[in-house]
Amino acid sequence: MLRHVSLLLCLFLWLNAKAETAGNWSQTLQKVTRAVVTIRVDAVRAFDTATNSTTQATGFVIDAERGLILTNRHVVQSGPVRAEALFSNREEVELKPVYRDPVHDFGIFRYRPQDLQFMKPEALSLRPDLARVGRDIRVVGNDAGEQLSILAGTLARLDRGAPYYGRGRYNDFNTFYYQSASGVSGGSSGSPVVDINGHVLALNAGGNRSAASSFFLPLDRVVSAVRWIQQDRSVPRGTLQTTFEYKPYDEVRRLGLRPEMEAQLRKVNHGVGLLVVNQVLPAGPADGILHAGDILLKGWVGQQDPSWLRRFDELEALLDAHVNETVKLMIERKGQPLTVELNIGDLHAITPDEYIEFGEAIVHDLSYQQARHFNRPVNGVYVAYPGYVFANAGLPSGAVILSVNNRAINTLNDMEYALSELADGQQASLQFITLHEVKRTRISVFRMDRRWFERQRCKRNDRRGVWDCQKLAPGPVAVAPIPVPVSLVKYKDKRAARLASSVVYVKNNIPYHVDGLQEVHYVGSGLIVDAENGLVVVDRNTVPAAMSDIRLVFAGVAEIPARVLFIHPIHNFAILQYQPELLGDVALKSASLKKTELAAGDDVWLVGTRGDQNLLVEKQTIASIDPLAFSVPQVPVFRESNIDVISLNNAPVTQGGVLTNEAGDVLALWASFSYGEGAELKQYDWGIPIELIQQYLEQWQCCKQFSVRSLEVEWAALSLSQARQLGLGNDWLRKFQNTDRKRQVLAVSRLVAGSDASRQFKEGDLLVAINGNIVRSFRDVELKSQTQTVKVTIVRGGQEIDLELATQELGGIGTARAIQWAGAMIQNPHRALAAQRGIKPESVYVSFVWWGSPASRYGLGAVYRIVEFEGERITNLDDFKLAIRKNASKTFIQLKVLDLIDRESVITLKPDLHYWPSREIWQQDGEWNSRLIN
């Protein structure tokens, strides 16, 4: 009986203790959650190990009076950021970064406490001394995007190594991490790890999803840094530019630890191992003094008594307290005791706090973080983002620039001076290494950009919480290139020999994603069609937009600029113009163009350009001449229509070219066509009959202008039997048979929104005549539609109908103007929207959004159309520019937007004129310009 009473009493006490513990946790978490915030952060520029991004994380108040919030270093970021904190009652405050540790994964934001009107959070206390194995903890934060999540766990290890996130990325080192099986996920970075009393034991910093493990940063260095910040003083951080790792005694013994020293250490060391040198950075304070495998024992400065350095926190406390002083270290190396002296360096001095931005590239001094990955001294200039200017030269993100024009580049000042000597468009050689081939010095050539993008040098200002920027020097005035002597390649084949003086290699780089373009680098070949005036015809898969930097390469020797003179709005070709005088006396010739009606089975010669810019010639047989019928791409972009193209049997791979007759007369342009299959863009080569191109060359030679009129209809070619089923009568059936040409009838397949045809035609209408003349082909329609109005005869449901239609005049240059606003590229809607999605050319269109921008943060995505700006209707880019200026002082802007299927939504967006100023890009007299709007 007594035994049963005893068991019941134990059960009662256990249940009572469990209920009391649950109650304590409930009370604790109520207090903790008031201090925990969701952090929305935009990394506005790529910098060091991070890219520009838009993300969210967690932080918590550690000083309510000063408004200090603790979170991770990878949240505060080493580069420029914009951030906001959202408290549990949904109050939002702006955050300013005040500290990010050079090594460890913690950073501190500041907010203005007076900005909180409806709650006063209590600061959480930092208690690293309370961390114990087996202690129950809770991780309180923004887990997997949830506003607030509480995850339970138990501290399992206090001496885990820092997690490794990959080479070239941010990695913590020279510290222990705690481990727990609490399974945190994205968004919980920066969460407090608390005990039942609400004390913060550690900072959540990472995890391993495959093992459901969470990694927490100890708070020793955090507590030290907070004390300095609360005193409004700089945080001292010392370094030997050496990475240590913690090894257990069995491993240290194999490295040479003497038995008598191990016995002595085991009496005073509460751990199971020692710190061992893992990596010494070249040219650092320890280079040539410490070696990999050295065992660290004691350290002291001046006349201090030597102290044991058994743990990372003991070593770092010593270094941080004596920056720029000399430290003595007692070590063992292969069983021999040694004492060495080293100068303690300043960690902040080798952590970059400036960057140069030019040509969309971001460069800064190489950081200690990345120098460890390269295993090189902390000098050189690091490419955080290659942007437009370096991507064109083949430099990847993460490269280190060693020299520019044979001038050594050791610092950012060296880089600024090298750039100051370069005019817009001027080329410069550079040497660099990459993260994946650190021993290989590579050489490239880049071209300076002073036209498309901002040029400035920016420095971190922790007082203001932003990076202050100053414009770079304007640089020298660009000079005309000196003509280069060029001799043309002599080919044995008579067609290649004839065309060697007419075929050029085309390189095109597009600075901005406009008109739905996804790529920015294009190559192909062009054909000189007017050597006297410098006219070159090329396909639109090489020059898809007028907003381009085009270079023509002649005989693989001379390279000169060209501009877009004409881009056909419907068909896959463009006409470029270069200045012939830049080539000196090179014997270039206009290609001989010969209008010929080709048919399947005809022999032609393909003269194409290879990757090495030489010509290849191959006799081919025309397989077929058929209409193209591409599906609509997911993102509206130029798509060829209303054309019959030439197919060959097993054509070789080329970068463009021409089809000729036996004598070398050009019969067709061998062009690359881009087309969409769902979200994927593909390309294929077909021939464009030269007759189509000749029409516009004749316009230029006659009147120095181009004119394109269109019915704005996409046609489908139907067989006579199909047309008969759609109501084509016998009279028309006989007329369409009275010819040797293709027996087909054109039917309305798609109507371009906003055109007169879209108001009068219906899909499925059969087109039989224009101005009383029968039409049988795309070319017939095109030639007969070059007047302001036309009379058309259609068959609809078996009934013959006569209509008078206004044709539409189309521009021959495409998008010639755009505006950058809030990190979005804004333009007038391009024709593909009207042709492919039935969207009238009204409002303005978002063609691209940069990561880390307000547009990215607040959901203003690409393919949206902005129809209202602060309640005012937007019909075109002029309206939009006026609205920007009118509302420049407003904190938030309300936009009404439509997607591709006209779904309406409202977006409130907070512009950022500091990092994302409004800029207009436009073409005038064939030249591109840019300027700030505000």
Catalytic residues: 74, 105, 188
Q: Which residue has the tokens 């900005």?
A: 115
CA 77 – CA 41 distance, rounded (Å)? 9
User: Buried b / exposed e across 301-315, counting CB within 10 Å, b at 16+?
Assistant: eeeeeeebbbbbbbb
Which positions ≥6 away from 529 have C-beta within 8 Å? 535, 536, 537, 575, 590, 591, 593, 693, 697
User: Tokens representing 278?
Assistant: 């893992």
Tell me phi and psi for residue 834, to 5 degrees.
-75, -40
Q: With CA atoms as reference, report the closest residue to 217 among 184, 252, 168, 243.
A: 184
- Secondary structure string (H, E, C) spanning 289-349: CCCCCCEEEEEEECCCCCEECCCHHHHHHHHHCCCCCEEEEEEEECCEEEEEEEECEEHHH
Provide the residue type at 314 as one letter.
Answer: E
The encoded tokens of residue 570 equal: 């419907």
Can you read off the two tokens belonging to residue 422?
């370069």
Q: Are 718 and 745 in contact (CB under 8 A)?
A: yes
Q: What are phi and psi of 475, to 5 degrees?
A: 85, 170
d(CA 829, CA 865): 8
Cα–Cα dist 488/348, whole Å = 57
DSSP state of 617: E
CB crowding 212-242: b at 16 or more within 10 Å, else e: ebbbbbbbbbbebbbeebeeeeebbbbbbbb
Neighbours of 29 (CB within 10 A): 18
CA distance 292 to 202: 30
3-state secondary structure of 619: strand
Phi then psi for residue 540, to 5 deg, are -80, -5
Question: Of 821, 805, 818, which is closest to residue 756 (Cα–Cα)?
Answer: 805
Kindly write down the DSSP assignment for every residue of 888-908, as one continuous string: TT-S-EEEEEE-TT--EEEEE
Token pair in block for residue 424: 């817009």
Measuring CA to CA, how many Å separate 878 from each of 896, 912, 920? 17, 21, 11
